[in-house]
Amino acid sequence: MLFQSPQAIDVHRTVDVATPASWRAALPDQEHVPVLRLCDGKGPPMPGWCAVGSDLQGPEFEVVCGGINSKQPGYAAIWRQGNLLHFGFEPRPSEYNETGRRLLLNAIAYIARFATDRPIVRARSFVDPQGGGASIYWLDFMLHSPKADAAYLGGLFAVPWRERLASLDLADARAFVQERLGALCVDGGRFAFDDDALQLGVDVRKPGVLGQLAELLRGDSADRARALLLRLVPDGPGADTTPNNWRNWLHGREPAMCFDVHSCVWRLDPLAYWRGEKSADLSGPSRADGDAQRDPVAAELAAKIVAFHGGARAFDDLQCFTCRFGDERCLWDRRRGIFRVENGGEIPAGNLATPWQVAIFDTAADADLLRGGGPEPRPFVSGRGSFRELQERLFLPLLLLDPGTTLRRLPDDAEGHRQLEVHLAGRCTDLLEVHVLHVDASSGALLAIDETPRAGGRTTPWTIDGTMRVGPLLLPRKFVRNTNKSYEIEYQDAQWNPPVPEGADSKPEKLLGGA
Amino acid sequence: MSYHLPGAMFLLSLAVLAQDKTKNPALHVAFVGDLQSERGADFVGFLRSQFPRVDGVERSTCTPDQLRTADVVVLDWPQDQGVMLWQQDGQKPRQQPLGELSRWDRPTVLLGSAGLNLAAAWNLPGTNG
């Protein structure tokens, strides 16, 4: 992809260069290697930064190509972790040749579509204030390289394992480690073997191990299984979780969990979780959102809709937004990635609904900062749902040309209006929801939205009744649901870039006015 | 390869090779780097010739708030302004232009050593190189 579009690169325009000295051990019989030149002798003294390829393990990694500097051929120069594309080449645009400049442009276009993915795997770095982390690269080197050293292998481990390994020769030390790799864990900056995993005889790296441990919570090994689960799932439901709740928690998440080889723990792959897919099945370009090649007819209609509702440039200038709908008032501090919703509604006597006042949601992290409702066992109220509704209704016409959005032109509806199928993407977005927009062909005005929570699910048709001017934007104002139980949502008092009240990201009391 | 090409053919080959900006997606790009340097100006100038909106953001004072509406952020950050400084003083506060990892949601291109600096700052793989 990176070599094909939007700027075509002829990957056959290689030149043969003498095999670099640092590659000769890996390519002993090769005098020359074909390379695609990115500079024609004008590059900086330092060609760039590359990373050990074997370190880049996890569902969110994708290695595109290597490059020549002082490292070996297995090092990666262009690679991706989630929404971060490492473009290791150092030259600036005027130092590149056409191929180099095209590759840079393609890199920018490629990563633009990773609106939802993010880094999952962690590795404590050599400049961490607590010291560097345990290195799987060096462990692998000591287990397999002819240059390995028994003392160094032992030095990778914390006590008491270090002493055990120090008493063995290299072959025995390697065998000792290999036999226990299924219980490998990280202890500060060094490796260790988890005693609970050893005693339970489980391989902590193996898919399904978390469910296996959850089953053990009801037996004689419950204490060990619980301790191991807590260590293996640091972002899990916590120490007080009952066996039933561990099973429930894992039920929806285990397929979306992935093993972090650097930290020796299991982490949730949020993209897999929100897409309802197995993390193991999601790799490389399949983790991107949006259209790899956007249908020009769909894009033309989308551009018309965006323009009618204020334009992409105007939407980019929206820094903060407030409005009221029903009993709720909300504030979206877009610059800081904060969404705040306040509830002024009173619950009628005899109604069992949960009272709540304020919910605050971090739209950048996709995490609750403050939930309304509660305490346990009463349910909590997250701001995520209200934020999603704001995006999927009010701002939907302005999100159509985002790189992560998927568009498909459908046949005109029975009234002759244009139809556009839309999937949004990005953190906080419901990745499975399908929207079909009904659009006035001449103006680009949005007339109605059909919402389907999942492909094949029941569709809710919303008719849009009027628009409201918010700064330079023209947003839908009122949504009417014409099903057997009709319902209306009207957005009012909308403001363009109002000041953000102090404490909007933290204060539990109402700040947005109203009752 | 022969370099003895007629002038017209040489111009034609240049035209074929040059980047056609109409093929690029219409992205809002934010370039974060040293804007006062020749290098920073080179990047901003090139990106502006290719994309409809390019914001230049000074890295030394950059905060994520300035980048939240960009489709793609392009970060340029030399080693001597990142890991080399942190190696000298491990406890010194670290200015990170993109803020916290958990809150960084923009698709991002990390140029050269920016990848090393960011991986080191956020404890991500990519610092062995």
At A124 the pLDDT is 93
Q: Two tokens at A244?
A: 């039933």
Residue B19 pLDDT: 83
Q: What is the pLDDT of residue B15?
A: 40
Which neighbouring-strand residues pair with A321?
A332, A496
Whether A37 contacts chain B with CB within 8 A: no
Looking up tokens 């916290």 gives B100
Q: Do B74 and A109 make contact, defined as CB atoms within 8 angstroms?
A: no
Instruction: Establish if A137 touches chain B: CB-CB under 8 angstroms.
Output: yes
**Any CB–CB contact under 8 A between B55 and chain A?**
no
Q: Residue A334: its chain B contacts at CB < 8 A? A: 68-69
What residues of B are in contact with residue A88 (Cβ under 8 Å)? 112, 115
Looking at the partner chain, which of B23, B109, B125 has a beta carbon nearest the beta carbon of A262? B125
Residue labelled with tokens 């870039």: A497
Q: Is B50 on the interface with A (CB under 8 A)?
A: yes
Backbone phi, then psi, for A25, in 5-degree steps?
-65, -35
A28-68 pLDDT tens trace: 889 999 999 999 877 787 788 889 888 999 999 999 998 88
Residue pair A243/A217 in contact (Cβ under 8 Å)? The answer is: yes
Query: How confident is the model at residue A514, as a pLDDT?
Result: 64
**Yes or no, beta carbons of B27 and A128 under 8 Å apart:** no
Contact B74/A108, CB-based, under 8 Å?
yes
> Would residue B32 be called left, alpha or beta, if left means φ above 0 and alpha means ψ between -120 and 50 degrees?
beta
Q: How far is B68 from chain A (nearest CA, A)?
A: 6
Stretches where chain A sits below pLDDT 50 are none
**Å from A96 to nearest chain B CA?**
11
Question: How far is the C-alpha of A510 from the C-alpha of A49, rounded, in Å?
Answer: 50
How many Cβ contacts (< 8 angstroms) between chains A and B?
A: 191
Please return the burial class of B107, using the count of CB atoms within 10 Å of its CB with bins 0-12, 13-18 and 19+: buried
pLDDT for B9: 39
**pTM metric for this prediction:** 0.94
**Residue B46 at interface with chain A, using a CB cutoff of 8 Å:** yes
Give the residues of chain B that fall short of pLDDT 70: 1-17
Pick the closest to residue A49 from A74, A66, A26 (CA basis): A66
Does B27 sit within 8 Å of A108, measured CB to CB? yes
* Alpha-carbon span A170 to A233, nearest angstrom: 33
Q: What are phi and psi of A15, to 5 degrees?
A: -125, 145
Q: Does B69 touch chain A (CB under 8 A)?
A: yes
Residues, chain B, total? 129
* Interface touch A51/B113, C-beta < 8 Å: no
Which among A88, A316, A401 has CB closest to B115? A88
Q: What is residue A515's predicted lDDT score, i.e. its pLDDT?
A: 52
Which pLDDT belongs to residue A204? Answer: 98
Closest alpha carbon within chain B to A314: B69
Interfacial B residues in 79-108 facing A (CB < 8 Å): 79, 83, 86-87, 90-91, 101-108
Do A75 and B129 count as a contact with CB atoms less than 8 A apart? Answer: yes
Give phi and psi for B117, each to the nearest 5: -60, -45
Crossing angle for the helix pair A170-179 and A136-144, to the nearest 10 degrees: 130
Does B117 contact chain A (CB < 8 Å)?
Answer: no
Q: How far apart are CA A194 and CA A93, in angstroms?
A: 50
Contacts 24+ apart (CB under 8 A), B36-44: B39/A92, B39/B76, B40/B76, B42/A92, B42/A93, B42/A94, B43/A92, B43/A93, B43/B74, B43/B76, B43/B111
Which pLDDT does position A335 carry in this prediction? Answer: 96
Chain A, window 373-392: residues with a beta carbon less than 8 angstroms from a chain B beta carbon: none
Q: Are A418 and A441 in contact (CB under 8 A)?
A: yes
- Those residues whose C-beta lies under 8 Å from the C-beta of residue A98, and which sit 6 or more positions away, are B17, B18, B19
What is the rounded CA–CA span in Å between residue A157 and residue A191? Answer: 5
Write the DSSP symbol of residue A501.
P
Report the complex ipTM.
Answer: 0.95
Determine which of B66, B91, B110, B122 to mutate to test the interface with A (most A C-beta atoms within 10 Å): B110
Among B39, B50, B71, the residue with its CB nearest the CB of A105 is B50
Does A303 lie at the interface with B, CB-CB under 8 angstroms?
Answer: no
Pair of tokens at residue A319: 């820094």
Pairwise CB contact (< 8 Å): B68 & A335? yes
Secondary structure of residue A191 in the 3-state scheme: strand
pLDDT at A455: 78
A43 touches chain B (CB under 8 A): no
